[in-house]
Structure formats: structure tokens, C-alpha cells
A and B are shown apart, each in its own frame.
Chain A
Amino acid sequence: MRKMAEALKRTCSLCMLFVALSVIAILAMSSAVAAQVVKQTTVAGYSPEEALRLGERMYRDGILPSGEPMQAIVKGDIPMTGSEFTCANCHQRSGFGSLEGTVRTSPINGAQLYSPLSRFKGVPLSRRSVAVQEAELFRPAYTDETLARAMRTGQYPNGKQMSDTMPLYFLNDRDMAILVYYLKNLSTGNEPGVTDTTLRFATVVTEDAAKADREAMLAPLQFYIRNWRISRTMERSTRTTAFVQEGSFGDLRTMSLSVWELKGRAETWRGQLEEYYRREPVFALLGGITAGSWAPIQKFCDDHKVPAIFPITDHPVLSANGGYTFYLSRGLAQEAEAAARYLHTREDLPKDLSVVQVFRNDLSGTAFAKAFQETWTGLGHALPEDRALERNARLTERFWKTVHDKHKVVLLWLNADDFPDLATLAMANSMPETVVASYSLLGDRIYGLPEKQRASVYVTYPYALPQESKVYRTNIEAALRKNAIPITNLEIELKMYSLFSIVSGPISRMRTYVYRDYFIEMLEATPDMSMTPAVFPRLSFGTGQRYASKGCYVVQVSGGPQPELVKRSDWIIY
């Protein structure tokens, strides 16, 4: 009995020793990985901050610290430079890699590179015992030296050769040290608004937004956040598979939503946003609404690298550079550009066509006038005549006569209240041959056009036609009613459904690696959405693309008591 007790005691001691050693080993490994990302005092003679800046320029723009483009060889025999494509092209800004067709580009963020990778799953071994046999590994963890060798020779730390799609870089030791340091620190910190249990979002509402529009944006969004959960299939699979054992999926998080109300003039918004963000940092902005320009909010987001997805605005920032804001479309400018392209391609109109634009001297009016003018003159036409009306100026019959006497085509960038009674104009013998107007400004007033005038009026329409999207609209309307969400502006509520469709996938998949750039890259990689045209015929994405719907129809209103919209153009993109 005593022998048995002693044997048991010895076994227990051995077990304890084993557990203790394992814990020490695990701690040692974690600290080793953590130690890798601790900032050095200098890197190749630069401060760590400067080294990160220079490394980022190499990684994202392919430019060496000297200002020259990086040089490499790809596919064995093709010389290339950083001005053609860069590390970030394939590995993405976050370093989490990409999947395109059958070509998978590996994650190369700091944690991934400096961890061993399992043989079959290609994921970091962050939870499993460190006593993994070499044979079980796809590759051991990189060191600074083996990472530098990999970029020069295409060899993994264990000597295996990578795919030759990975370029081999000609880098001197100093430049290499900077790039290695950058990769070591890539996507390793903690993102604001993310805790172990919660993913925090906010939505920005400015006080100039109409109450009904604000509710239409907010009510579905709050419902979505309240009821969001990962799909059961995905939850089950991620709990039961090797992914969990290997630590590639973290715990499930709930989502929270704060409403950031901005009051007063736009110049004061920045201060208010900073205060909200200081009090409660968020991972990203979802939706949001303003009657004015989104520019101050975009600036805040770009400065803090906060993604903002599908704000409801007619006035997005028009830029070729992909910032942190994803817009549903280019807003009013998209309609004006389509009008210019439509008139340009009309064969019945003379090539030296003169046009006049009538608009209120406000944000919307000037947005239309500016975008039309730029596109129209870019197509080789003379400057249009601009007739800007002050806010309270009345539109008299005499005014219309002077407008149309000189021009065959009149662009009326006016809202429903301002839109002239065309019948009166016709009686005054001053009806232009072609009138172009905007659905975004006129709304359903276009259906009230006198029947005799419908043949002259062309309307820019940046959505799927109602008769084509009816089924989808009805379905979403039914879902809103079922969930007791008040329908105060259906157009906006449909747009919010587009938002939910695009963010759900990335939020579900982003578990352990919750990084903003990674989130953005997953949004960019979203397949085109053409099967749910509740509002737009197609939403399409891609790296750096920031305007999901890219075209516009020109329509007319059919005759008869129940008028329909009739396409007079294809979906105009260019």
C-alpha cells in the first residue's frame, strides 16, 4: 500500500513537473514571440518610428529609402520594379495575404512569420504544445536572418523552395533590416474598439438630416447590431475543427453600436468626433447620415484609420485614392456625369450642341453643375452656360424664355419644389426640346409630369428600375414589417440592407485577427452583389475601389395613368 502511495506520489510529481515544464515552455514561446515585436532602439541607424515609415513605403509603394524603386525577379526570369507591383499587392496592407482563383498568397504579418506553421493547416501554432516535432511543421518560425534570406532567395527557414510567384528582391543589408523590422511589427498591436468580448462600432448622425431619414438609417442598423450572431453552421464548424485547436479563431464577440450626434456647423464636427472617439474608441463606423458633405467625417476617419462603411450621403468625397470610407456610389456627381455622357452619345443632337445648366447656388446644385461641366468639357464640348439661382430667387416665365431661346438642351438641376411647370412653359412657347433632370432631386415628382411633356424630359436614375427590383424590395419591406422596424424612408432602409450584406461576412470571418486593414481587404474582396438589386443593379468591389455602385440610367416616364420608368440608356459608366 505504501509502495503504491509512493508510486502514485512519484507519478504525480512527474506529472506536476511535466505540467510545470510545459507551462514554462509555453510562456517561453509566447515571450519569445512577444519579444520579437518589442521595438528596438534603432533600426539600421533609424529611429523605430522612421524605420516603420520607410518600411511601410517599401511594402506598400515599392520604394526604397533612397527613393528608388525596389528591384526584383519574379517567375524565375521576369525583372520587375516596385513601381509595377508591390508586396502589398499580393500580401495586402494588413499582411494577411489574399486568395485569388487558385493562387493563394501567404499571410506575412509579424505573428505569422515568427511562429512555426503546422504542416497541414498553415496556421500559427499558438495554442498547441511547443513540443511539436520538426516533421509536423510546414516550416519553423522565421528569424530575422531566415526572413531576409527568404526575400532574397525564396527559401523557407527549413530550406524548402517557395513558389516562384514570390519575387526575389535585391536589397542591401540596411534596406533589408528596415523591411524585416516592418514585417515583424505588421498587424501585431491591438486595434481600438476591440475587446475579448465586444466589437465596438459607431454611427455618425448630423443634425441637418431629416428626422424620417435619420430613423430610416438608424432603426434597421440598431436592429442588426442587436440581433447579430454568427451563423450556426460557421459557429459549429469553428468550434469543432482543428482551427480552434490551432488558435486561428478567437472567441465569439458581441457587437455594440454608439450613435455619435454631430451638432452645429461642419467646422465644429471634428472636435466633436475627437471627443466621442477619445471617450469610446470604435473599430469602425457603420452607416451614418448627413444632408451635407461627408468630407469632414472622412478626414477624421482617414486620420485615425477608422473604416466607415456606406454612409448615407449625396456628397461623398470624390477621390481616386482608396481611403478608409466605402461609399455606396459617387452621389450626385455620378448622375451629372452620366447626363454628360448620355448627351454626348445622342446621335440626333449636333456635335456643337450648346447646353445650359440651371441650378440653385447650394451644395447639391453646385455639385451637379461642377461634375457635368468637367465631364462635358472632358468629352470635347464647349463650356455649358451656368445659370445659378440664389436661394430665394423666383423662377419667372421671362427667365425660362431667356434660358431656352439660346439652347436646345436645358439641364434643370432643381428639386421638386423648384421644378418649373413645364406645361406653363410650353404654353408660353418656351418649351426646350430636351430637358434633363435628376431623380435624386426630383424624387417621385417625375411621375407627376404632364403627359404631353414626358417625351421631352430625361431623368438621371442611379438605381435599379422599380419594376426590376420590385420583388426584392417587397421582400425587404416584409422583413422590416415582421421585425417591427418602422418604414420612414424605404430607399434608405434598402441601402442599409446593402450595408448588412457586405459587412456580415468579414465580421464573421475576422475572429482572432481583428485588424482594420484586414477588415477593409475582406470588404474589397467581396464578390460583386448582383443578385440582390433592391436599390442598385450591381455593387462591385476590388482593391482600392471605394464606390460600390458605379453607373446610372437615363430614363423617361411612360404615358398613361400608371406611368413607368423607361430606360433611354444602358447603365452608363463611361
Chain B
Amino acid sequence: MPRHRLIPLLAIVLCSLCLSGEAWAGRDKTYTRTFENYEIPDVTLINQDGVKVELRKLLLADQPVLVDFIYTTCTTICPVLSINFVNFQNTIHRESGKARLVSISIDPEFDTPKAMKAYLSRYHAKPGWDFLTGSREDISRVLKAFNVFTLNKMNHYPVILLKSPFDRRWVRVYGLIGTSELLVEYEKVRQ
């Protein structure tokens, strides 16, 4: 077989290995954790109540912040991230902790304040969890600044960013995690 014919064949075999559903699902990786420095862009976004929000001001407030990047019609990653956020809220409320949760839409074409409000309500979100959207240009700037930009929203990352008000650095958690793992990360950030 000529060598050039092997290339697509190899590509397909590799793809099939990556995409083969249950085979992949069975080898779930643990999450990765890194420290990052991000320059938050100076943009004004809009929250689920239609209120304008200065992103820098919101994220650099004097309380711990957790950020994820989701969209309301997402199939797998966002529901798991969101159910974790609400469970986290329920847990830290019991422990009288305070943290601000911020979800930023990666589908600004569809995620209107009305759609975002309905989404938060579906997950029984408590006050302190905001869902933000904005113009496509502003959202792209934000996604690039936090290194989560993808051309196709379906290829987005399961990422949660955590930040303490006393540290310039962000903790980037890559991978779908449970609430106990999130709480561990949260406690590390608070210390």
C-alpha cells in the first residue's frame, strides 16, 4: 500500500480510538490543577436580570470567586458543572462560607438574560451565582483572556477557575470533578 494511503487510515484509526465512546468513558482521567495569571479584559457584560456588570469589578471583589464557561443548551459538560456549582452552594451555605460563582456564556447568540435566568432556576441556583453574557466580541475577548476560547462551542473545556481575593493567581481546574474535589480546591484557595 502506498505510504500516502496509510495516512488517512492511521488518522481514522486514531480518531476511532479517541471517539470510541464506552472505551474512552471507562478510562476517565482525574483532573489537572495549575496556577495561571490572567489579565481580565475591561468589558461590561450583562447578567440574568439584564443588569450590566463590569467583569473586572465582579471578579476582583473581596471574596473568593469561582468561574466556569457554559451555555444553556449544552448537553453534557455544562449540566455536570452546574449541578456541581449548586451542590457546592448548598454545602458552603451550610458552612456559612461565602463565595461568588460566575458562569460566563459561550453562546451569546442564544443565551439571553431570559434564557440564563431560566437555566439558573432549573438548577435551583441561590443568590451569589451569576450568569453573564455579552456581545460576541466581548465574550470572545473574555474567553481568550482565560484561555478557554474554541471556535466551535461544542468543543469547549470542562474548566473551573478559582481565585482568592488575596492572591493575584488563578487556580485552573481542568476536568469534570465532584463536589468534594471542588471543596478541596476551594479550601486551598481560601488558605
Q: With A89-B79, A101-B77 given, can you name 11 additional A-B contacts, CB distance below 8 Å?
A: A76-B180, A78-B84, A100-B77, A165-B25, A240-B9, A524-B73, A528-B109, A528-B153, A542-B153, A550-B110, A574-B112
Q: Does B135 contact A (CB under 8 A)?
A: yes
A542 near B122: Cβ-Cβ < 8 Å: no
A78 near B76: Cβ-Cβ < 8 Å: no
Chain B 151-162 interface 0/1 with A at a Cβ cutoff of 8 Å (1 = within) = 111111110000
Q: Does A90 contact B (CB under 8 A)?
A: yes
* A residues 225-264 in Cβ contact with B at 8 Å: 233, 236-237, 240-243
Chain A 206-241 interface 0/1 with B at a Cβ cutoff of 8 Å (1 = within) = 000000000000000000000000000100110011
CB-CB < 8 A to B107: which residues of A? 540, 542
Q: Does B28 contact A (CB under 8 A)?
A: yes
Chain A 68-93 interface 0/1 with B at a Cβ cutoff of 8 Å (1 = within) = 00000011111110011100011010
Residue of B nearest to A97 (CB): B21
Q: Which of B33-41, B57-65, B93-101, B171-179 contacts A (4 or more CB under 8 A)?
A: B171-179
CA distance A27 to B50 in the complex (A): 62
Q: Point out the residue from B8, B26, B158 that lies within 8 Å of A163, measured CB to CB.
A: B26
Residue of B nearest to A246 (CB): B16
B83 near A74: Cβ-Cβ < 8 Å: yes
Chain B 73-112 interface 0/1 with A at a Cβ cutoff of 8 Å (1 = within) = 1111101101110110000000000000000000111101
**Shortest Cβ distance from residue A458 to the other chain B in the assembled complex, whole angstroms:** 20
CB-CB < 8 A to A371: which residues of B? none
Residue of B nearest to A83 (CB): B122
CA distance A104 to B75 in the complex (A): 11
B20 near A122: Cβ-Cβ < 8 Å: yes
B178 near A100: Cβ-Cβ < 8 Å: no
Residue of B nearest to A240 (CB): B9
CB-CB < 8 A to B12: which residues of A? 237, 241, 243
A92 near B156: Cβ-Cβ < 8 Å: no
**Shortest Cβ distance from residue A136 to the other chain B in the assembled complex, whole angstroms:** 12
B113 near A103: Cβ-Cβ < 8 Å: no
Q: Point out the residue from B25, B71, B154 that lies within 8 Å of A527, measured CB to CB.
A: B154
CA distance A378 to B109 in the complex (A): 20
Q: Does A99 contact B (CB under 8 A)?
A: yes
CB-CB < 8 A to B124: which residues of A? 84
CB-CB < 8 A to B16: which residues of A? 120-122, 241-243
Chain A 39-81 interface 0/1 with B at a Cβ cutoff of 8 Å (1 = within) = 0000000000000000000000000000000000011111110
CB-CB < 8 A to A75: which residues of B? 80, 84, 176-179
Q: Does A513 contact B (CB under 8 A)?
A: no
B109 near A103: Cβ-Cβ < 8 Å: no
CB-CB < 8 A to B150: which residues of A? 101
The verdict on A163 contacting B23 (CB below 8 Å), with A85-B79, A543-B74 known, is no
Q: Does A139 contact B (CB under 8 A)?
A: yes
Q: Point out the residue from A119, A165, A543, A573 that lies within 8 Å of B28, measured CB to CB.
A: A165
Q: Which of A154-162, A287-295, A462-470 contacts B (4 or more CB under 8 A)?
A: A154-162
CB-CB < 8 A to B82: which residues of A? 84
Q: Does B145 contact A (CB under 8 A)?
A: no
CA distance A85 to B73 in the complex (A): 11
Q: Point out the residue from A99, A138, A242, A542 that lies within 8 Å of B22, measured CB to CB.
A: A138
**Shortest Cβ distance from residue A536 to the other chain B in the assembled complex, whole angstroms:** 11
CB-CB < 8 A to A166: which residues of B? 25
A sample of 25 inter-chain contacts (CB < 8 A) reads A75-B80, A75-B176, A78-B179, A79-B87, A90-B79, A100-B77, A101-B157, A102-B158, A104-B24, A105-B25, A120-B16, A122-B21, A122-B22, A156-B26, A163-B26, A233-B8, A237-B8, A237-B9, A527-B153, A540-B107, A542-B73, A545-B110, A551-B109, A570-B135, A574-B113
Residue of B nearest to A79 (CB): B87
Q: Does A532 contact B (CB under 8 A)?
A: no
A164 near B23: Cβ-Cβ < 8 Å: no
CB-CB < 8 A to B21: which residues of A? 97, 104-107, 122
CA distance A102 to B27 in the complex (A): 12
CB-CB < 8 A to B177: which residues of A? 75
Q: Point out the residue from A74, A104, A161, A528 that lies within 8 Å of B19, measured CB to CB.
A: A104
Q: Does A123 contact B (CB under 8 A)?
A: yes
A241 near B9: Cβ-Cβ < 8 Å: yes
Residues on A lying within 8 angstroms of B by beta carbon are 74-80, 83-85, 89-90, 92, 97-107, 117, 119-123, 138-139, 156, 160-166, 233, 236-237, 240-243, 524-525, 527-528, 538, 540, 542-545, 550-551, 570-571, 573-574
A165 near B76: Cβ-Cβ < 8 Å: yes
CA distance A92 to B87 in the complex (A): 24
CB-CB < 8 A to B180: which residues of A? 76-77
A100 near B109: Cβ-Cβ < 8 Å: no
CB-CB < 8 A to A551: which residues of B? 109
Q: Does B123 contact A (CB under 8 A)?
A: yes
CB-CB < 8 A to A105: which residues of B? 21, 25, 75-76
B154 near A525: Cβ-Cβ < 8 Å: yes
B20 near A540: Cβ-Cβ < 8 Å: no
CA distance A165 to B76 in the complex (A): 9
CB-CB < 8 A to B73: which residues of A? 524, 542-545
Residue of A nearest to B174 (CB): A102
A164 near B112: Cβ-Cβ < 8 Å: no
CA distance A425 to B75 in the complex (A): 55
CA distance A84 to B85 in the complex (A): 12
CB-CB < 8 A to B114: which residues of A? 574
**Shortest Cβ distance from residue A288 to the other chain B in the assembled complex, whole angstroms:** 24
Residue of A nearest to B73 (CB): A542
CB-CB < 8 A to A573: which residues of B? 108-109, 112
A162 near B25: Cβ-Cβ < 8 Å: yes
A100 near B76: Cβ-Cβ < 8 Å: yes
A84 near B123: Cβ-Cβ < 8 Å: yes
CB-CB < 8 A to A570: which residues of B? 135
CB-CB < 8 A to A76: which residues of B? 178, 180
The verdict on A99 contacting B74 (CB below 8 Å), with A527-B152, A542-B107 known, is no
Residue of B nearest to A547 (CB): B110
**Shortest Cβ distance from residue B86 to the other chain A in the assembled complex, whole angstroms:** 8
The verdict on A540 contacting B176 (CB below 8 Å), with A163-B28, A527-B151 known, is no
CA distance A571 to B134 in the complex (A): 11
CA distance A51 to B74 in the complex (A): 29
B158 near A540: Cβ-Cβ < 8 Å: no
CA distance A319 to B25 in the complex (A): 36
CA distance A61 to B135 in the complex (A): 32
Residue of B nearest to A85 (CB): B79
CA distance A107 to B22 in the complex (A): 8
CB-CB < 8 A to B24: which residues of A? 104, 122
**Shortest Cβ distance from residue A313 to the other chain B in the assembled complex, whole angstroms:** 21
**Shortest Cβ distance from residue A316 to the other chain B in the assembled complex, whole angstroms:** 16
CA distance A141 to B44 in the complex (A): 53
CA distance A102 to B15 in the complex (A): 12
The verdict on A74 contacting B135 (CB below 8 Å), with A104-B25, A120-B17 known, is no
CB-CB < 8 A to B156: which residues of A? 100-101
**Shortest Cβ distance from residue B20 to the other chain A in the assembled complex, whole angstroms:** 3
